[in-house]
Chain A
């Protein structure tokens, strides 16, 4: 790749929720802004914009990651999933999303997209997490509404349902 100049916009391409997408970005544009403003995918939220709150967490190449700590140009060629990709089809929620609804694991919803993305990647590689594992993992997220207890309950419930009927993931 040649040197991309600071004051021009450059084409960035990646796979987003299974679809090839592209748009233009200055080198300094954060991936959060690229997703929200250039691609119109506003499900990914922006809180602190320096890696602390977890609201912007998405999945990059199979791992949970902070979109606000990634430049759009760094993501060129990557495979990305965001909260828009969780529901299996319109009108139907994923097992994890349903569990959040049942357990009232969200109030204002600001932190929710990030927490869902973190948990979605985590539950795929950890089928039977303990409450301690989940607490440790959720340490990377701030929620100012729920007190975390319903989030833990939803995550444990979703893990159990996914173990019993993994096809409905």
Chain B
């Protein structure tokens, strides 16, 4: 299992990346940590003609904590964000989800933005981006734009990024007071891709639940504060609205049942941290 041939360029400036993408379009791929891309190359699910390495651009290696948002550059590795001492205080949902991303031995190199770029439907980081209402910052020679996570993930491993655009950073809002959050995941083993993962966020007047691993992209619903049977009904309706996948790990009914049960458990856990 070896990748097919490609050229390799270590970008020295952002302009190098933009030029490579503008000139080569879909034949060029950005490589950051490579933890999703390398298996795709080795299995020849991707056959780019050019890889542009962005890990030597210091401007992309930064975590910026503003008053309202945390901006995570495209070169920030998952382990670096996890080791950032402010993470749990500024964004506890992200801190709770990151240990579920791959293994320590892949988080050491894999980036936050790389996971967003690949948009695997079972991946935790796209799910958290959607749950938190994060934004994706894209740039190209033509322009720069920010896309809300709810519009960015367009299907199985596909996104709103145009071929000449790169993800420069993602931003997530800083956690608000009076909000409780929780992250739960079910898989065969820790570190495997999720069969179902749930991110819940609860405030005094609303509940939001986002699920990954079920449909071809992460999905989110917002409810008013509900309890008991009414909450079960809302989760049941959500489970039926999802176009649940069948694969060798789980059937669609099994995934829907996990949405009902784990969704409820995650909401209750989020409530407890609110209390």
Give A residues with C-beta under 8 Å from B.
Answer: 1-7, 26-28, 30, 33, 49-51, 54, 57, 60, 63-66, 68-71, 73-74, 118, 122, 136-137, 139-141
- Give the residues in chain B near A70, CB-CB below 8 Å: 34, 38, 109
Q: How far is the CA of A51 from the CA of B46 in the complex (A)?
A: 16
B51 touches A27 (CB 8 A): yes
Shortest distance in angstroms between B84's beta carbon and chain A's nearest beta carbon? 15
Contact indicator A60/B109 (Cβ below 8 Å): yes
Question: Which range holds the interface residue count of chain B?
Answer: 35 or more
A27 CB contacts on chain B under 8 angstroms: 5-8, 51
B106 touches A2 (CB 8 A): no
Are A63 and B103 in contact (CB-based, < 8 A)? Answer: no
Question: B146 within 8 Å of A by Cβ?
Answer: no
Q: Which 6 A-B pairs have the closest CB atoms?
A: A140-B103, A27-B8, A63-B108, A6-B5, A1-B10, A50-B39
Residue of B nearest to A72 (CB): B8
Q: CA–CA, A141 to B7, complex, Å?
A: 32
Q: Which residues of A contact B108 (CB under 8 A)?
A: 60, 63-65
Binding site for A on B (CB under 8 A): 1-10, 12, 31, 34-35, 38-39, 41-43, 49-51, 53, 55, 79, 102-106, 108-109, 189-191
Q: Which among A6, A30, A74 has the highest number of chain B CB atoms within 10 Å?
A: A74
Distance (whole angstroms) from the CB of A71 to the closest CB of chain B? 7
A71: chain B residues within 8 A (beta carbon): 8, 31, 34, 38, 51
Are the C-beta atoms of B5 and A50 separated by less than 8 Å? no
- Kindly identify which residue among B7, B31, B191 contacts A4, using a CB–CB cutoff of 8 Å: B7
A69-B35 in contact (CB<8A)? yes
20 A-B pairs with CB atoms under 8 Å apart are: A1-B9, A27-B6, A28-B5, A30-B42, A50-B1, A51-B35, A51-B106, A54-B103, A60-B108, A63-B108, A69-B106, A71-B31, A71-B51, A73-B53, A74-B34, A74-B53, A122-B104, A139-B103, A139-B190, A140-B103
Contact (A118, B105) CB under 8 Å given A3-B8, A69-B39, A70-B38: yes
Known A30-B38, A139-B189; further 12 A-B contacts with Cβ < 8 A: A1-B12, A3-B8, A3-B9, A5-B7, A27-B5, A27-B8, A50-B39, A51-B38, A60-B109, A64-B105, A73-B10, A140-B103
Point out the residues of chain A lying under 8 angstroms from B4, CB to CB: 28
Residues of A within 8 A of B105 (CB): 54, 57, 64-66, 118, 140-141
B34 touching A139, Cβ below 8 Å? no
Nearest CB in chain A: distance from B255 CB, A:
22
